[in-house]
Structures are given as structure tokens and as C-alpha cells.
With several copies, the nearest count.
Chain A
Amino acid sequence: MENLITLWQSSGVAQMASGQFIMLLVGLGLLFLAIRKNFEPLLLVPIGFGGILANIPGADLALSAAETALAQGNTAVLAQMAQLLGLDSGAGLDALKKALGSAPVAVQVQAAEFARDAGFNNGMLYNFYSVAIASGVAPLVIFMGVGAMTDFGPLLANPRTLFLGAAAQFGIFATVLGAVGLSVAGVMDFSIADAAAIGIIGGADGPTAIYVSSLLAPDLLGAIAVAAYSYMALVPMIQPPIMRALTTEQERKIEMVQLRHVSKREKITFPLLLLILVALFLPAAAPLLGMFCFGNLMRECGVVSRLSDTAQNALINITTIFLGLSVGSKLAADKFLDPKTLGILALGIVAFAIGTATGVLMAKLINVFSKHKINPLIGSAGVSAVPMAARVSNKVGLESNPHNFLLMHAMGPNVAGVIGSAVAAGVMISMVRSLTGA
């Protein structure tokens, strides 16, 4: 009988907090968006599923061994944990969790050893997160794969479009200011690191957003990743009104000069040129842009096609599965159901909107100074969100001029946006570290 009671108490229904129930619904909602509405399914299916797994009460899949010991341990275990963490034995659970999170690494190692001796293990998703994201490897490997899938031809044929990719990153920094403003106004409580991580949503680039937030604000990673991928899927809805509002019918009809042929040698040299510029001027962006250039060089050099194929297929797919589940581990109720998440979702869409606007405006500015006019509709593609944003440019362009195919022209700013947000990521990581004295 006692056994039955224990079992019932260990069952999910009895333990489920309302937060976990809400997150279960959120996870199902993400799966619905991914499967029915085709919202970036490659990421949102694993993220949504991981989010559900992370919120199974009593399974503790997203907790480390030490956190599990706090969640499930008896009085003796808690007392010993308190002693390890330098608290008195009557300390509450929340105090213990907080102390564990902010303890020096050596103490965390001791706590983990103690928890393992007491029979607790790391949760499955916690292990995935440690290996895939905390180490930084998964976003970097995905970036390598993206590099191996990227054709810089349209960019090389028209290098001016790099400026569009630069301008659209203003969405990032405006959002940083917005987040800081909310904090100063007392509405939210974002640190400067939080603000920088939130801003990167405006980069419209999933792996970059995950990489930056894993370094600067791991607790916000779940909300940031969900916002980034959701808004990327919403690009066809977010961008067109802004694009139409900022351009005249005449501008939208501009036909652009046919792109010149770009030689194989230019395509091989470009990633090396980019790498060297990064090496000389922006070492903080070296991991992201280094792996990106490596992937692209493997693609273009033509002598390692086996490696390039693997980077574009088996390797990126395997990494995506574990990256998604790992992001899902950050959808645990106690981290995700926080007023900050609402702030992140609100700021994220602002970031997309501003990036779209500044991209379009920059195209109009360039037109003031140059002979070969740019159709400002391709400016919005500078936010990246490859290749969705470029398709949106094409579609809106066709509405005004059914014979005006902007797709290839928009691919230039589109991939420029990837570079731009990686550069912005490097700058922000480097500046936040020097500001916070790390």
C-alpha cells in the first residue's frame, strides 16, 4: 500500500505544478506551429519536443545531478548540500538553488560529486545541453554547415549589397537600447548582457542567437531561441507592410542590372579574404565567422566534396537534433515562465521590424549616390533569415512588376546579413565582457 502511495506521489499528475502544465501546452503549441504552419520545423520540432520533455514533473531531464539532488533529495541530502554551499542547514530550497548556481566552479564540482555519490545523475537534456551548447560546438557546427550551403555568388557580383546587410543589423542594436530602456524604466530587469543577448534576435539568424545567448545569458536562451526562430518563420508577415510603407510604387518597380558571372576563383578567395579580415580586425568574431568561412571554403574549393557533403547533411542534421532538444531544455517552466520572456518576445519583433526598415532605407540611401539603382525591396533581405527574406523581397517586387525577379539580387544582402549579424555578435560578446569586467 505504501508502495502505491509512493508511486502515485512519483507520478506526474500529483507533482505537476501549474507552470509545467502551461509549458506542456506551450511545447504542443510550438509543435503545432512547426508541423501545421511550417514554422521553421527543422528547429521548432526538436525545440518544442525538448520543451515538453524538460517539463515532465519528476523526470528532471533538464537538471544536473546536483540540481536533481536538491529537487528530490531527502533532508539529509539537503543538509549536506547546504553545508557544501556554505549555507546553514535550514536554508530553503530556493536559497540552495541560487547558491548552487552562483557557486565557484570548484564548489559546483564538489556538489556534483556528492550528488552522484547520493545516487543522482544528470538529466538527459542537461547532458545534451552541456555537450551541444554550453561547449559552444553545436551552433558553430551548424554555422559551418550553413557556410557549406551558402553561395556567395550574388554577393560577389554586387558587393554594395554588403551595406544592406550592415544596415539591417541596426535592428540588433536598437533592441539592445530598447531592452536597456525597459530596465531603466523599471518595467523589466535586464542586465547589459541580457540586453545584448536579446538584441541578437534581430540578427534573424538562429545559430548566432543561440551562440551569443549561451555565452551572455544562458537563462534566457530558451526564450531567445524560440523568438528568433518564430519570427524568422513570420518574416513573410512581418516584413511586407514595412517594406510597402517605406517605398514608393516607383521604387518597387526598379529593375536591376543582370548579375555578372562570378568565377570559381573569386568564390574560393572570398571566404579566405573574410577570414583574414576577421583575423586582423575582429578576433571576437573568429569562432562564428571562422567556422562559416571554413564551411564555405570546403564548398567552393572543389577538392573536398565528401567533407562538404557531410557538413551539409549528416553532420548538420545530427547537430540540429541535439541542438533543438538542448534548447528545449531551457524551456523549463521556472526559466521560461518569467516576465522577461514576454519582454523578449515583444523586443524581438521590434528588432525584426527595425532591421527590415533600416535595410530598406539604406538601399534608398545608396540609390542617392549611385548610377545603377538598387530596388529598395531587397534591403529588407539584409536581416538574413536566409532564404525566406529574399523570397519575400521577390514576392513583394512581383506585386508591383510581374516581370521583375528580385530573388537572385536579394540573395546578396541576404547572405551579407549573416556576416553582419556574426560581426555584431562578435562585437557585443567582446564589449559585454569588457564592460562586465570578465
Chain B
Amino acid sequence: MQETLLQQGLDITLFGMGIVFTFLLLLVIGTSIMSRIITRHFPEVEPASHSPSHKVGNDSARLHAVIKAAIEQHRQRR
């Protein structure tokens, strides 16, 4: 016999929430273990990752600093 609509809704809710929590619990456990293993056994050699975007940022920041300096010089000159 087909379940009633209400029963189906309750089923989805109970099992749904259950699985969401169980799955994310597994993920919390997995993540914690993973982080511990990596931090202990495979630490990064470089102190901090210089991603390309960072580099661009730095370059750009330096450029701005330089230009600011140039502007100041220019003003002082006048």
C-alpha cells in the first residue's frame, strides 16, 4: 500500500535531517583527521604560500607606493 503523503513527508524529514547530520559528522571527523595528518607528517616547506594573485597584489601595492611617492615629490618640487 502507498504511504500517505504526510507519512512520506515525515520520512523525508527524518531520514533527510539524519543523513545530513551523519554525512557532515563524517566530514568533520574526516577533516579533522586529514588536517592532523597533514600538519604533522606533511608540513609545508615554504613558510607562506605566495600565490600569483598575492604577488600581483604586492606588485600593484608597490606600484601604488611608488606612484604616491612620485606624486609627493612632484608636489614638493612645485
Q: Are B5 and A423 in touch, CB under 8 angstroms?
A: no
| Pairwise interchain contact B16-A273, C-beta atoms closer than 8 A | no
Complex Cα gap A282–B20 (Å)? 10
If the complex has contacts A176-B12, A302-B51, are A263 and B21 also in contact, measured as CB distance less than 8 A? no
**Cα–Cα distance between A218 and B17 once the two chains are bound (Å):** 24
Q: Is the CB of B52 within 8 A of A305?
A: yes
Q: Does A342 contact B (CB under 8 A)?
A: no
The reply to whether A3 and B31 form a contact with Cβ atoms under 8 Å apart is no
Query: Which residues of chain B have C-beta atoms less than 8 A from A183's C-beta?
Result: 5
Q: How many positions in chain A have a CB within 8 Å of any CB in the partner chain?
A: 51
For residue A369, CB closer than 8 A to chain B, the reply is no
Q: Are A423 and B23 in contact (CB under 8 A)?
A: yes
Q: Please state if A266 and B19 are interface contacts (CB–CB under 8 Å).
A: no
Do B23 and A265 touch (CB < 8 A)? no
Question: In the complex the two chains form, is A177's CB within 8 Å of B10's CB?
Answer: yes
| Nearest chain B CB to A71 CB, angstrom units | 23
Measured in the bound complex, the distance between the Cα atoms of B17 and A411 in whole Å is: 22
Is B19 touching A184 in the complex (CB atoms < 8 A)? no
Stretch at the interface among A114-122, A399-407, A425-433: A425-433
Contact A424 B20 (CB under 8 A): yes
Q: Which residues of B contact A174 (CB under 8 A)?
A: 13
Can you list 29 A-B contacts with CB-CB less than 8 angstroms, sorted by A residue number?
Answer: A7-B19, A156-B35, A159-B27, A160-B28, A163-B21, A173-B13, A180-B5, A180-B9, A181-B9, A192-B5, A192-B8, A195-B12, A262-B35, A264-B49, A266-B34, A269-B34, A277-B27, A277-B30, A281-B23, A282-B23, A302-B51, A420-B24, A427-B16, A427-B19, A427-B20, A428-B12, A432-B12, A435-B3, A435-B8
Question: Which residues from chain B sit less than 8 Å from chain A, CB to CB?
Answer: 3, 5-6, 8-13, 15-17, 19-21, 23-28, 30-32, 34-35, 38-39, 42-44, 49, 51-52
